Structure 1
Amino acid sequence: MNDRDVLAELLKPIRLVSVFHSRWIVRGPWNLQGDDDHCAVLHYALRNSCYVKLQGQQPILLRQGDLAIFPYGTAHLLGDGSPGPARPLCGVLPERRLGESAIVRIGDEGALTELMCASLNYDLGGEAPLYRSLSPVFVLGKPDLDSEPLLLRTLESLVPETERREPGSPLVTLRAFEMVFVLALRVALRNLTVDSPALRALAHPGVSRALSVIYGEFQQPWTLNLLAQRAGMSRSSFAKTFRDLVGEGPALHLTRRRMQEAVQLLTHTQTPLSSIPELVGYKSSVGFHLAFRKILNDTPGRYRGHHGLEGGPAALR
């Protein structure tokens, strides 16, 4: 498994379960502050430009036609760059019910800015361990979108599609946003810079070798000593370097990778519950259940009941 194969694991399990989308028609001056969200967030500038700003960072200009993605919903300010306090988003949109939409109008003077925004809720259990090492925000400009014609066409089609109220429209909109999300992530992965934690981890010879087996051979009975041997490093040096570059220890990272695979089996197959522990690297069902509860805060059976394939009792065996 090479670096790109490891990064591809970020995309495989991502599937949206619900979307709240909104059209913003605003006139200056305006500034809005959103909190951390438990989903991805998208801003697509339809007319004019605006700024997005994360705490402690310089504002990022979002020009007309640009797309901004916050992969895991990091709190940010959105506005026209004017001075003054920001209004809390919850005060402008107090309710954002999943599967619904809204039109927000602010101000009646000044230059008109129009945005399409969305909260993209995906199954957190399918989030790859390296996912959180992506940048908290990335902006795709015209050259990026031109390099992904399918992404550009889907974005352009989404604008009128979100206004339709026909049978099946909510599902079409959900899957169109999912297409935008995954294609945008693909561009982001392709454009990883030397400052990216994911790229730094993959560029380290020892950590990269360990990540390759964690992602590709997670069923094997890996221990910290064995992973350190595969990395060609001492146990202590490997553990510290891995944590510094990846953001968590190798044992927890391996557990997350195994739980990611378990979620896919529980959600998209009817593999018997009794067979899943061995398939994801556990010799006992007790160890598997403890790990699953630690990562997902749920039991495998209950998780399948809520998220699994339609199939009633057969899916729960």
Structure 2
Amino acid sequence: MDVLSDAVAAMRTGRPHSARRDKYAPWGVRFAAAEEAGFHVVLRGSAWLIPAEGEPMALAPGDVAFLAHGQEHALASGLDVPLHEVRLLPDGTWSTPPPDGARSACADTVTLCGTYRLDRSRAHRLLAELPQVVHLPAKVGTHRSLRAAVELLGLELEEAQPGSAAIVTSLLDTLLLYILRAWWQTEREAGRLRGWSAALADPAISAALRAMHGDPAHPWTVEELGARGGLSRAAFARRFTTLVGEPPLTYLTWWRMTTAGRLLRHDDLPLRRIAQRIGYTSEFAFAKAFKREYGVAPGQYRRGS
């Protein structure tokens, strides 16, 4: 099983949204803090990404900026232009800012922006450890899959065609994984992997994670998980806790409950079947563990109350 894909699926909810914008200098928009994660891509021209904290970043054509934590930020043609507030609408899209500067035959800058709705209560540790801004500069020969996804998404948003709604949603989901993969590869090449991102690069720990994610119903033991990576029980437990931030069986319980929550919200399986899928032979034991984790009974959680 793909742990990175599971980490994203654990907190993704609703449909992602995206828009392609032609910008005419001078222009500037400020995005308020939100639960959503978002990205900005400069397709043509240039822009400044201005985070609430930290130094502004110059974005060139092909650059990708991903903000995983929904913090306030601005995007502008310059550092001294007025910023117009935009707000998040109930459907997950952003309100349209006022018109930019004088229009010409060709826009000064073309941007591609998108948002992903997230359930912060089930935030996976991998995403929680991301920096405030993931900046992926465009470089020849690097992250070719990411560049291809950006180009395809830009084309679909430029002119709606039959099937565009489904294609855009799929491309946005794909783009999110490409962004995270590109960041992880960049950090690994630079020797900067820490915590969860380092766990994915560790053969022994990643083998154990794949096993837990692939079969959460299995009655895993620390010794059995360690054997997956060729480590003794004690050595595996120490390394796993150091990198992941908690003991192996504590993480296994968290993942089981996260999987159960997703099944309750998106599937109509009876509680007995869900309990079996995550390793509980008793529906009562599952309900007790679930309430301890979520604070509500499984049935109440399924109803969204």
Give TM-score scaled by structure 2 length: 0.70
1:151 CA drift (Å): 0.6
SS where residue 108 of structure 1 aligns?
Answer: coil
Task: Please say which of residues 294-303 and 44-53 is displaced more in the overlay.
Answer: 294-303
- Mapped to 1, the partners of 2:283 and 2:125 lie a distance apart of 22
- CA pair 120-103 structure 1, distance change in 2 beyond 3 A: same
1:43 CA drift (Å): 0.9
1:75 CA drift (Å): 4.4
Task: Please say which of residues 6-15 and 265-274 is displaced more in the overlay.
Answer: 6-15
Q: Which amino acid aligns with 1:232?
A: S
Matched with 2:46 is 49
- CA pair 178-225 structure 1, distance change in 2 beyond 3 A: closer
- CA pair 103-145 structure 1, distance change in 2 beyond 3 A: farther
Matched with 1:103 is 96
Q: How many residues in Structure 1 have an aligned counterpart in Structure 2?
A: 293
1:280 CA drift (Å): 0.5
Do the aligned partners of 1:46 and 1:64 also contact (CA within 8 Å) in 2? yes
List gaps (5 residues or longer) in structure 2: none
- Mapped to 2, the partners of 1:221 and 1:52 lie a distance apart of 48
Do the aligned partners of 2:45 and 2:60 also contact (CA within 8 Å) in 1? yes
- Mapped to 2, the partners of 1:67 and 1:16 lie a distance apart of 22
SS where residue 212 of structure 2 aligns?
Answer: helix
Q: Identify which of 56, 75, 83 aligns with 1:78.
A: 75
Do the aligned partners of 1:45 and 1:65 also contact (CA within 8 Å) in 2? yes
- CA pair 116-227 structure 1, distance change in 2 beyond 3 A: same
Matched with 1:180 is 175
1:41 CA drift (Å): 0.4
Q: Identify which of 61, 72, 89 aligns with 2:58.
A: 61
1:272 CA drift (Å): 2.2
1:16 CA drift (Å): 5.5
Q: Which amino acid aligns with 2:60?
A: R
- Mapped to 1, the partners of 2:289 and 2:80 lie a distance apart of 48
- Mapped to 2, the partners of 1:227 and 1:146 lie a distance apart of 35
- CA pair 134-83 structure 1, distance change in 2 beyond 3 A: same
Matched with 1:232 is 232
Matched with 1:196 is 193
- CA pair 224-106 structure 1, distance change in 2 beyond 3 A: farther
- CA pair 94-124 structure 1, distance change in 2 beyond 3 A: closer
Do the aligned partners of 1:24 and 1:104 also contact (CA within 8 Å) in 2? no
Q: Which amino acid aligns with 1:261?
A: T
Do the aligned partners of 1:45 and 1:63 also contact (CA within 8 Å) in 2? yes
Percent sequence identity over matched residues?
A: 27
CA deviation profile, 1:226-269 (whole Å, cap 9, x unmatched): 7678853549x946x54542244544422231133324543555
Are 1:94 and 2:91 counterparts? no
- Mapped to 1, the partners of 2:168 and 2:265 lie a distance apart of 22
Do the aligned partners of 1:31 and 1:81 also contact (CA within 8 Å) in 2? no
Q: Identify which of 245, 257, 260 aligns with 2:258.
A: 260
Task: Please say which of residues 11-20 and 281-290 is displaced more in the overlay.
Answer: 11-20
Q: Which amino acid aligns with 2:286?
A: F
- CA pair 202-95 structure 1, distance change in 2 beyond 3 A: closer
Q: Which amino acid aligns with 2:116?
A: L
Q: Which amino acid aligns with 2:59?
A: L
Q: Which amino acid aligns with 2:209?
A: L
- CA pair 168-243 structure 1, distance change in 2 beyond 3 A: same
Matched with 2:126 is 130
SS where residue 155 of structure 1 aligns?
Answer: helix
- CA pair 147-63 structure 1, distance change in 2 beyond 3 A: same
1:200 CA drift (Å): 1.8
- CA pair 152-119 structure 1, distance change in 2 beyond 3 A: closer
Are 1:32 and 2:30 counterparts? yes
Give TM-score scaled by structure 1 length: 0.68
Matched with 1:310 is none
**CA RMSD, aligned part only?**
4.3
1:294 CA drift (Å): 5.1
- Mapped to 1, the partners of 2:283 and 2:184 lie a distance apart of 35
- Mapped to 2, the partners of 1:56 and 1:100 lie a distance apart of 24
Q: Identify which of 109, 113, 118 aligns with 1:117.
A: 113
List gaps (5 residues or longer) in structure 1: 307-317
- Mapped to 1, the partners of 2:15 and 2:5 lie a distance apart of 23
1:128 CA drift (Å): 5.0
- Mapped to 1, the partners of 2:172 and 2:202 lie a distance apart of 34
